[in-house]
């Protein structure tokens, strides 16, 4: 082989190496893309399982704080690691017979599959209709009563000024029926902000549950309206309303 022949062969070899490197680059890119995608899915799943979940609002029981079809984010660290407070808005599973039976069958297999994937990463909540959302009025050991002469709820002897409630026109009584309960050690007393249109603790006080919700049934504290975007807002637990109640409890 002459020098000329060798020199002419070299560029062809370099080209082959470049082609191989290009092919390997695409493979590395695709591998990295798959790793990033899988990692994002796993992180989303862990966040949804242990930190934050999304739910939608199916009813009017929390109007005007929450509207039908609002999407909310729920902090699952409460009550797992941090205690529930008076005034918190909490999501909980049905304590027993509070909700009618609801079919969970999807409209078709494709919608069911998409909803399942979104639910896996926490972007959908197909089980929202199996959960309830209310405001915490009584904590373990509290005595909750309705009502004083001004129609106010009384917690541990303290009448509540409740700016978050919705009552029918010309009605001042905080909830339809009179009652006096003491909250058990492992439970909470919850009520909807739309007091005359909410199947809450007061409405279920004659049930086997006594109207109480086990703390272990609480999924977490709702802290943000995430959708629609024009309703983005943090959810308030109105500490001023419950300040004296908390002080008395301490």
* Residues belonging to the active site: 61, 134
Within 8 A by CB and 6+ apart from 197, the residues are 60, 61, 63
- Residue 230, CA distances (Å) to 23, 89, 129, 136, 213 in order: 48, 20, 24, 26, 32
Task: Count the Cβ atoms, other than its own, within 10 Å of residue 78.
Answer: 19
d(CA 79, CA 83): 5
Task: State how far the Cα of 60 lies from the Cα of 151, in Å rounded to an integer.
Answer: 22
* Cβ–Cβ under 8 Å, residues 142 and 182: yes
8 Å CB contact between 99 and 130: yes
Nearest C-alpha neighbor of 214 from the set 34, 58, 59, 94: 94
């Amino acid at each position: 082989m002459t020098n000329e022949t060798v020199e002419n062969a070299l560029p062809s070899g370099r080209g082959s190496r470049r082609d191989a490197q290009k092919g390997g680059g695409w493979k590395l890119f695709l591998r990295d893309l798959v790793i990033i995608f899988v990692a994002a899915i796993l992180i989303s799943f862990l966040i949804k399982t242990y930190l934050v979940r999304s739910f939608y609002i199916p009813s009017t029981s929390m109007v005007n704080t929450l509207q039908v079809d609002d999407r909310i984010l729920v902090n699952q660290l409460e009550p797992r690691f941090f205690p529930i407070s008076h005034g918190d808005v909490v999501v909980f599973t049905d304590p027993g017979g509070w909700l009618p039976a609801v079919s969970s069958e999807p409209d078709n297999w494709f919608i069911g599959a998409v909803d399942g994937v979104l639910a896996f990463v926490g972007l959908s909540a197909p089980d929202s209709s199996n959960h309830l959302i209310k405001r915490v009025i009584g904590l373990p050991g509290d005595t909750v009563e309705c009502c004083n002469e001004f129609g106010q709820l009384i917690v541990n002897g303290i009448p509540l000024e409740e700016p978050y409630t919705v009552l029918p026109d010309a009605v001042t009584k905080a909830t339809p029926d009179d009652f006096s309960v003491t909250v058990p050690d492992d439970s909470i007393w919850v009520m909807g902000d739309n007091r005359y249109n909410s199947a809450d603790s007061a409405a279920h006080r004659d049930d086997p549950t006594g109207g109480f919700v086990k703390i272990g049934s609480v999924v977490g504290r709702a802290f943000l309206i995430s959708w629609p975007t024009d309703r983005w807002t943090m959810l308030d637990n109105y500490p001023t309303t419950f300040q004296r109640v908390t002080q008395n409890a301490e």
